[in-house]
Amino acid sequence: MVEPLYLRDLAWAVAALLQVIVLFFIFRQKLLRAHPAFSGYILATFLQSFLVGWVGRHWGVQSIQYFDIAWGMQAVVICARWLAVMEIARQILADYTGIWRLASSILFVLCLAVLIYALALAQYRWTLMVLSADRAVELSIALFVVGMLIFARYYRLGMTDLERQLAIGFALFSCSWVVSNSLFESSRNPSNAWWDFFQIVAFLATLIIWANALRKPMYRASREALAELPPEKLAQLSLQANTRLRELNDRLNHLLHSKDSRT
């Protein structure tokens, strides 16, 4: 049987390669300006892989230095992921001021509630504190991304294929972290190697989704130009709508009257 450690190392190498490929696509498609937070996130994960790998070899994976640096880098990467997720949300929703305000406030409250819920459910063993906090954050990231996509679907907001694929990748990755952290916590004899392997495979899958989305030539989605109408045109259209709706309402009142007179 193949040792999980070897499999993990292999997956780690493939993940590093995919990170380079994703970064290459970002530069080739000139997306650094359009997606700075996402580019920063990929760069952060790339640095994390090497730094954690180097520290593991230098001090050993059981050392306190490894623990501090690995979880410290994880905190940095999670912050970078939050920024990348916010960047996508802003790109999809921020053109629509009202929807953006409503969505951001609802999602903020929901994420906070989930964070509290996840921390409240966590087992208070000090060895698992970091893991529980990590899981809580991942769950709230997943909720944020899914909530954002639900808002976009409900209001029929357009988004590019890249934005959709990036969001899918973030949500799936965060969900897989929640599952793997929970399995690790519940396991009586948790093996670090298998746990790491599961997470790297999830990350690999996410990188494949992103690389595939970035590989295609970029088409700027033609966002619906409702908000870009000139004010005179907007005023004219809304007054027109108002008149027509008033007519409809008069007709409805007439209908209700005629119904009342029958019954």
Partner 1 sequence: MTLPVLLFMASAAILILLLAWAVRPPRRSLTTEEALGALSEDRHYARMPQILQSLREDDTEFMRSRGQSELLGHVRAERRRIAVRYLTYLLDEYRMLVECSRAMAKLAPELSAKREYEHLKDYLRFVLICRSLQCRIVCGLEPWESFGTLSDMAGTMTLRLESAAARIGESALQAPTSLANQGSGDAE
Q: Which two tokens stand for residue 183?
A: 């399995």
Chain positions 112 to 151 lying near partner 1, rule: CB under 8 A, are 118, 121-123, 135, 139, 142-143, 145-146, 149-150
Q: Minimal distance in Å, beta carbon 176 to partner 1?
A: 8
Please state, in angstroms and rounded to a whole number, the distance separating the CA atoms of residues 152 and 99: 9
Q: Can you say whether residue 70 is alpha, beta or left, with left for phi > 0 and alpha for psi between -120 and 50 degrees?
A: alpha
3 state DSSP class of 224: coil
Report, in Å, the least distance between residue 5 CB and partner 1: 25
Restricting to residues 203-232, name those near partner 1 by CB under 8 A: 224, 226-232
To partner 1, the closest distance from the beta carbon of 178 in angstroms equals 4
Q: How many residues does the chain have?
A: 263
**Least separation, in Å, of the C-beta of 20 and partner 1?**
27
Single-letter residue type at 123:
Q
- Binding of residue 153 to partner 1 (CB under 8 A): yes
Q: How far is the CB of 64 from partner 1 (least distance, A)?
A: 28
* Residues between 14 and 33 that touch partner 1 (CB under 8 A): none
Is 167 a binding residue for partner 1 by CB under 8 A? The answer is: yes
Task: Report how far Cα 59 is from the mean position of its chain's Cα atoms.
Answer: 33
Q: Which is nearer to partner 1, 152 or 200 (CB)?
A: 152
Measure CA 172 to chain center.
8
Is there binding between residue 245 and partner 1 (CB under 8 A)?
Answer: yes
Nearest to partner 1 of 58, 244 (CB atom):
244
DSSP 124-180: --GGGHHHHHHHHHHHHHHHHHHHHHHHHHHTT----HHHHHHHHHHHHHHHHHHHH
**Choices 8-16, 61-69, 76-84, 162-170 (CB under 8 A): range interacting with partner 1:** 162-170
99, 193, 205, 208: which one binds partner 1 (CB under 8 A): 99
Binding partner 1 by CB under 8 A: which of 14, 23, 179, 205?
Answer: 179
Q: Which two tokens stand for residue 142?
A: 């997943």
How many chain residues interact with partner 1 (CB under 8 A)?
72
- Name the residue among 86, 205, 208 with its Cα closest to residue 147: 86
